[in-house]
Structure 1
């Protein structure tokens, strides 16, 4: 039997990149997965890959009505939720001196508020054995020039896990952070180009960027009972970037 057989999962930002890779691994491990993302075309494409063990709901984590609709759908169709992967996030390079209020609002709305309410609104559907996975980043630990907003928001995500683990005492629900380093998503490859990818790859001891499937594999571990004695932890999947 696969590790996630019979489990019900939701992955925000699940139509592309790390979210899609995690959703695929969850499906492969036996879970039924709801993917939640803003772009319907990306959701449709993802579903064609994931198959009948997945369902797409369109919406934004920064819109509380959209999150309510997501969880009402899950409640009506499945009645419960075992795994929440709060993966939706945003951020790009912007040096001190060029940051605007609009940039601050965007980082807050998606990375902090979006993560908070993705989890909080899921709790009534979750019970003992539930696993919450927050997508952090190596940037939340290291100083990364030009990424102060993104890094600060991911540091906040790391602290969410520490405090929520205490808030969830007695529920049997675990919460952990999965923190990737530079990852070769389609978006990253298009944005960085070959030369930019090489620069990022050279920053870690393994001298390459992660593949999305490598991040998805660790997400499946955190979702499963194999990590049953882990909560408030951060698992770095960063090629050693933030560890040395």
Structure 2
């Protein structure tokens, strides 16, 4: 039997990268998926590719009025929401002194507030046995230069996950955070292309960057009943980046 058979999921940031990989994997494992993103054309194209088990809904995760619309769309198409994958996120790369307040606020609104709004919005729909998966980062475990806003938002997601897990456990809803390292996506490539991937890959234990499907596989585990006793936990997939410290380099 497929690992997610009969489950309804909302995946944010689903039009590309990790989100698209997760959407493909979820559908392959039997889930029905609402693909949520601000990128309408690629989102609709992916929904068409995935067929009857997928629908696309425009969603700006930082806008609280759009979340109930997305939840209702998922319920109307597929039924109550069993899984929320809070994947949408942005990265701003700049020194502390060069980070404008507007840039900082934009990252926090999408990454942190979007995650908060998503968790809150699905509570009216999610039954016992539900799973909320919040995508943080290795920058939610340790800092990296030039990522003051991104790191702040990802640390916040880590903490919010633990609070939500404590509050929702009595309802049978699990909440966990995922902490990817450098993953080969358009967002990461925008920092420096293949040279950046080569540079980072050489610095981790597995000597390569990760692929979106490797994060998708972890999300499937957390969405499935296989992780039924995991909540408030941090699941790291970083090729060994956090297994060391600066003095080892």
Q: Which runs of 4+ in 1 moved over 6 A?
A: none
Residue 228 (structure 2) aligns with? 228
- Whether contact under 8 Å (2:71, 2:81) holds in the other structure is no
Shift of 1:149: 1.1
1:43 paired to 2:28: no
Consecutive unaligned residues of structure 2, counting only runs of 5 or more, are: 245-249
Alignment partners' CA distance in 2, 1:191 and 1:156: 23
Residue 70 (structure 2) aligns with? 70
Q: What is the number of equivalent residue pairs in this alignment?
A: 244
The two structures, once aligned, show a CA RMSD in angstroms of 1.2
Alignment partners' CA distance in 2, 1:130 and 1:90: 26
Alignment partners' CA distance in 2, 1:151 and 1:25: 28
Residue 94 (structure 1) aligns with? 94
Residue 247 (structure 2) aligns with? none
Shift of 1:148: 1.5
Deviations for 1:24-44, whole angstroms, at most 9, x for unmatched residues?
111010000001000111212
Deviations for 1:190-228, whole angstroms, at most 9, x for unmatched residues?
542221111121221111110111110000000001110
Alignment partners' CA distance in 1, 2:61 and 2:25: 22
Alignment partners' CA distance in 2, 1:76 and 1:193: 41
Could you say what secondary structure the match of 1:154 adopts? helix
Could you say what secondary structure the match of 2:209 adopts? coil
Alignment partners' CA distance in 1, 2:104 and 2:45: 31
- Whether contact under 8 Å (2:8, 2:79) holds in the other structure is no
Consecutive unaligned residues of structure 1, counting only runs of 5 or more, are: none
1:170 paired to 2:170: yes
Q: TM-score, normalised by structure 1?
A: 0.96
Shift of 1:64: 1.4
Alignment partners' CA distance in 2, 1:74 and 1:197: 36
Alignment partners' CA distance in 1, 2:91 and 2:229: 32
1:130 paired to 2:123: no
Could you say what secondary structure the match of 1:145 adopts? coil
Alignment partners' CA distance in 1, 2:241 and 2:113: 27
Q: Structure 2 vs 1, CA of residues 106 and 190 (structure 1 numbering), >3 Å: closer, same or farther?
A: closer
